[in-house]
A and B are shown apart, each in its own frame.
Chain A
Amino acid sequence: DTAVSQTPKYLVTQMGNDKSIKCEQNLGHDTMYWYKQDSKKFLKIMFSYNNKELIINETVPNRFSPKSPDKAHLNLHINSLELGDSAVYFCASSLLSTGELFFGEGSRLTVL
């Protein structure tokens, strides 16, 4: 039973396309996150939602739009994909009070 699951695991697409990555957690956590790990392996937070409310919104292009339909789900939609969007995107969840994040396996996005 996967605690934090994200789909798809691999995504290859052309520049200019729109794509979504979905994330679900079954840990009962109140906070969910999207991280981007770039080619230099740096983990950088993009968004964080606490009880469906956006609490962290880093300097990310408007082409990236998170959507949290409920506390257990946080999806990431990306419009007009660019080459520089190629990276591994990690979803994570936690209880805001503890700060211990549980990560999904990552979704490797390749933009051609």
Chain B
Amino acid sequence: DQQVKQNSPSLSVQEGRISILNCDYTNSMFDYFLWYKKYPAEGPTFLISISSIKDKNEDGRFTVFLNKSAKHLSLHIVPSQPGDSAVYFCAARDAGNNRKLIWGLGTSLAVNP
């Protein structure tokens, strides 16, 4: 039973346009959400996070939006660049379970020049 779902396994976007990656969760005990980026043959790299008490966090070209009532978060990348092509993982921290991170399956983003 997946508590964190990334329903789109892949996404293709044109350079300069906006990339929107989505993530849904089921557990209301999640208190912190993180996005990680992973290139092939490398470990995941932390990108951006948001606390459950906020609805938006912005860092340069990356913005994460949280809709608690819908149990949905999204990562916006604008403008998208070819170097953003990677797998993006959504993760949620379970405050009720030793702060364990629960991971989605990832979305593979391809940004085309």
Binding site for B on A (CB under 8 A): 4, 40-45, 48, 55-56, 90, 92, 96, 99-106
Given A45-B100, A55-B98, A100-B34: A105 in contact with B42 (beta carbons within 8 A) = yes
Task: List the B side residues contacting A96 at CB < 8 Å.
Answer: 99
Task: List the A side residues contacting B70 at CB < 8 Å.
Answer: none
Given A56-B98, A90-B43, A100-B34, 20 other A-B residues pairs in contact with their CB atoms under 8 A: A4-B43, A40-B105, A41-B106, A42-B103, A42-B105, A43-B106, A48-B98, A55-B98, A92-B43, A96-B99, A99-B93, A99-B99, A101-B34, A101-B36, A101-B46, A101-B101, A102-B46, A103-B44, A106-B41, A106-B43
In Å, the complex CA distance between A48 and B105 comes to: 20
A56 touches B34 (CB 8 A): no
Binding site for A on B (CB under 8 A): 32, 34, 36, 41-46, 49, 87, 89, 93, 98-101, 103, 105-106
Q: Name the CB-closest residue of A to B45.
A: A103
Q: Name the CB-closest residue of B to A104.
A: B43
- Which secondary structure dominates where chain B touches chain A? strand
Other-chain contact of B43, A41, A44, A99, A103 (Cβ < 8 Å): A103
Given A99-B34, A99-B93: A45 in contact with B46 (beta carbons within 8 A) = no
User: Would you give the shortest CB distance from A16 to chain B, in whole angstroms?
Assistant: 28
In Å, the complex CA distance between A105 and B38 comes to: 10
Other-chain contact of B89, A43, A45, A48 (Cβ < 8 Å): A43
Task: List the A side residues contacting B42 at CB < 8 Å.
Answer: 105-106
